[in-house]
Structure 1
Amino acid sequence: MNQPIKRRLLFGERMLLGDGTEPFNAVIPFRLRGTFKLADIQRALAQIQKKHPWLRALITHDEKNIPWFDVQETSISIPVRIIPRQHENQWQEESTKEWHTLFNYEKLPLIRFVWIKGEEVSDMLFAFHHCLCDGGSAMAFLDEFLKTLDNPSTDIGTENPILGIQDVVPAHILNSRKQQLKAKFIGRLAATAIRFIPVGKKAIDRQDDYLINWKVDEAVSQQLISYCKSNEVTVNTFLSAALLQAFRKVKGSAAFNKISCPVDIRRFATQIKNDHIFAFGLMIVVSSNEKMSFLENLRSMQSSVERKTSKLNPYITMMVMESGHDALNNFTKLLKNGKSSNDCMFSNLGRIQIPHEYKEFSVDTIFSPSVIGPLGNTTTMVVSTYRGKMDFSFVGSEGYLPYTEALAIRDEVMQIIKVQLEYIAVS
């Protein structure tokens, strides 16, 4: 039996949840070498559910139709779907299937598991609703799942869940009259502005969604990291610059020269621990200057990224959003039906700190997560590095970025990396 726990969804979570008719799902695929029993997988899933209350939560609505995370006394297990493994890229087909499968969140948890079962190699996927958590949280429960799958007696601790804004925003800020007025003022201003922004009658027709995944070998990944270190820029900035240049080359004047990059809120709000199940993100937008050389651009973008990041204030941002629940529908409509103004969302999860060798099995690879939802331009690139190799997941929809253009952008990004690394090797 569990303690019943409830909490109202925050503004950002409600926006991601939507009205339940359109999925906003994320998928983390990984490949294991070893043989597994269903009972052991189910037990490991039960252990991570035991640690994290929100992995047991359903969604209920109160009399004002506001959604709540609702953990009941008897918890419902994470559903497991098993299919025989037929080929290497099956996980990509299953990922796209999972993107499009709604969560029946009034009856089942906001997370499910797919086992693509092979003789010696299995591919496995965690699929979860994006309102539940972000990629950072998901990597934490993936780590715990692997530990307990390997050794059921591993102690993974218990999460002290975030029960509302008061668990994130320090009391002296949350209760400050000045900060409250500021948040309300900005919130009202934004809500009013949103009402007057012209939006189309209906959303853009997304058409077919696709996933393009590729890896960069260890030697090139290492060279790229060294290149960035010696030029005092982050890999993130390098890849953003390469992506912007690739979009410009492929799309010409139709490119926006804008990429939105999520910034991990845990860097600023230390109350949110690495293993907290939480989905609140901060964003910055990066652009490049086409009059500069690649390297000049990198340095100028790096200082712009640092300037923008230093101005991020998760506490006031959250307070502003929490004051704007009544503007949620207008805001959602704007995101769905408004004209796209950026090329893509780019997220770099960095090095995945999950062991590779376990007693009972080994982790062959962890693929970069993918995520897709109904709020505007779906074009997203996620990068992560595991066992020294960079892995790219490029997600898009024909209606926003045709598949052939996405392939051309991928090739161009790889070409830019190659040229820059050759250039440094020569110089």
Structure 2
Amino acid sequence: MNQAKQKADCADIPGCIRSLSNVERLFLWSFQTNIAVAARITGDIDERNLERALDAVCHMHPLTRCRIVFDEHHDAWFSRQSVPRATLRIVPRTSDSQWFDEIRREYGVPFELEIGPLIRFVLVYSPKVSELMAFSEHCICDGTALANLMRDLLNCYANPKKEVQVISPPVITDYLKKEGGFSIPKIIGKFFINHYNNQWQKNPYYITQEDFNKIHAAYWEKYRYSIVFLQLEPEESSDLVARCRENEVTIGSALTTAFLAAYHEVIGPLPKNKKTISIPFDLRRHLENDIGECFCFLTGGFNFPFAYDQKKSFWKNAADLHKIIQKRVEMLDNSGLDMEAFDPTLIDAFFNLAPYIKIVPDAYNQTENLSAFANDKKSAALKISNNAVSKLPGLTTTNLGHLDFPEIYGSLRLDRLFLVPSAGENIPLILGGAGVCGKIVFSLNYLEQKNSNNPPPTRDMIRIRNIALEYLGFPEKANESLM
């Protein structure tokens, strides 16, 4: 849809917030890209006060209480009309790792896009220590937005009388860098996109909630989501900061390089077609104009070739990686998100229908729409998807960096924050990290295939985490637990 028309068109959508950009559309039907944040909190959380704070923060950020409306042209819109309150599920806390079992449970429950909301909350409660989690559709937020939401929720809890102001969510396409001028590759790319759009529009397929639910159920019946964590306490975090400064790299570059080097030792070098790294970054921090800490998807992203060079030292590899990332971020490189020329329903299909035909083929026998799509061998979506899957990176790192959050919220204290990105069967290394209150936590996210004759990858993932700790200078922290 022409984004310039969205204000006028929005008037026809009850409760309209705005339309989805094609970047957001990419994640709309994608259960594999859901994202979660968990805050470990000390102090006794009052359920009634937490529910009141949740209502306040959902008023502040419109996309926390929205649903999707599809118009007659199959354009998608965020709407606040007739959306239920965000759910808060409360379960008794029995261990430090129980919260992860609850995240895994959330992955098994699909979002009802046309009912909403597109975010759920869980409190794993005990009187002394609890974990408060937000589990969300990626189309309404990124990792930074979800972490900030957790901070806002705790602020509302601690300050019940403070009036909250609504922060409208901007659209990412207003802030993505647009390349101008003549470019042969750009012309060729536009030609092929138009060709695929025209081919698709002659015989399109539109995803339904039923289709989505069938694929979702089949996928999570086959796979189990798992995580291994690397955690550094304040003194250890300070030591790492000092080492990184000495070697002129960021913590994110050092940790990414450490996991890449460890993977090389445990599994071997990444396959030839996987020697690529993907880096998403927070656009809010790099825009010239301050747009506030809005809750929405506002992330740039880029891919680049990189392989760990065993002939160089660990810190030299980290420095090489850091220079590439720094240059790309300074350019506000968003080449990995150039989607606006595609028909949005084609995006739905090539990103969220086509990739799963080979992974869970039985799901495509369960609705007429899925069966017809899977048997249409000439579909433009299949051609684009096959090419896109072959170019997926070998490693992706979502690092929120140091978040300057308060530690105290009334009677509560924020202990640490866990960023939990998704995992995928086609990307060997998926990392997520954040630092708050002097503590750094990175997660290594992966899938276990159920009912497989092969041993689960958990043992290798723990070894990768332990060897990464050695590279970073903390060999004494190696252990056999997931946490």
TM-score by length of 2: 0.73
Q: CA 1:339–1:332 in 2, change beyond 3 Å: closer, same or farther?
A: same
SS of structure 2 residue aligned to 1:372: coil
Give the aligned residue type for 1:92. F
CA distance in 1, matches of 2:182, 2:37: 38
Q: 1:131 aligns with which of 136, 139, 147?
A: 139
Of 25-34 and 140-149, the range deviating more from structure 2:
25-34
The 1:330/1:127 distance shift into structure 2, 3 A limit, reads: closer
- Give, in angstroms, the shift of residue 43 of structure 1: 1.1
CA gap of 1:288–1:156, structure 2 versus 1, over 3 A, is: farther
Q: Secondary structure at the match of 1:131?
A: helix
**Root-mean-square deviation (CA), in Å?**
3.6
Higher mean C-alpha displacement, 301-310 vs 180-189: 180-189
User: Secondary structure in 2 aligned to 1:307?
Assistant: helix
The one-letter amino acid paired with 1:330 is F
The residue number in structure 2 matching 1:414 is 469
Aligned counterparts of 2:196 and 2:324: Cα–Cα separation in 1: 26
Q: 1:224, 1:139 → 2: CA distance?
A: 23
Partner of 1:27: 36
Q: Label 1:84 to 1:296 Cα distance change in 2 as closer, same or farther (>3 A).
A: closer
Corresponding residue for residue 265 of structure 1: 283
Looking at structure 1, the residues matched to 471 and 355 of structure 2 have their Cα atoms a distance apart, in angstroms, of 32
Q: Which residue of the other structure, out of 213, 216, 230, is the alignment partner of 2:232? A: 216
Q: CA deviation at 1:161?
A: 2.4
- Find the counterpart in structure 2 of residue 40 from structure 1: 49
Q: CA deviation at 1:332?
A: 4.8
For residue 309 of structure 2, what is the amino acid of its counterpart?
Answer: N
Q: TM-score, normalised by structure 1?
A: 0.82
1:111 paired to 2:119: yes
Corresponding position: 1:284 with 2:303 = yes
Give the 3 Å change call, closer, same or farther, for CA 302–122 of structure 1 in structure 2.
closer
> Are 1:240 and 2:256 an aligned pair?
yes
Q: 1:405 aligns with which of 451, 460, 474?
A: 460
Between the aligned partners of 1:347 and 1:115, the Cα distance in structure 2 is 24
- Structure 1 unaligned spans of 5+: 196-201, 422-427
Match of 2:154 in 1: 146
Partners of 1:28 and 1:369 within 8 A in 2:
yes
Displacement of 1:342 after TM fit?
3.2
Give the match for residue 268 of structure 2.
252
Taking a change above 3 Å as real, the CA distance of residues 32 and 205 of structure 1, as seen in their structure-2 partners, is closer
Tell me, in whole angstroms, the C-alpha distance in 1 between the residues paired with 2:197 and 2:392: 15
Task: Note the alpha carbon deviations across 1:135-165, whole angstroms, 9 max, x for none.
Answer: 1111221111101101112244320322573
The 5 Å alignment of 1:337-352 reads 338-339=389-390, 341-352=392-403
Asked if 1 retains the 8 angstrom alpha-carbon contact of 2:36 and 2:146, the reply is no
Q: Which amino acid aligns with 1:11?
A: N
Q: 1:24 to 1:331 in 2, by over 3 A?
A: closer
- How much identity, in percent, do the aligned residues show? 22
Distance 1:397 1:4 in 2: 38
Deviates more, 1:378-387 or 1:227-236: 378-387
Find the residue that maps to 1:324 and give its secondary structure. coil
> Unaligned regions of 5+ residues in structure 2, if any?
1-13, 199-217, 357-385, 477-483
CA change 1:310–1:122 in 2 (3 A) is: closer
Change (3 A) 1:216 1:17: same
Kindly state the Cα deviation for residue 67 of structure 1 after the two structures are TM-superposed: 2.3
Q: Contact 2:57/2:152 (CA < 8 Å) preserved in 1?
A: yes
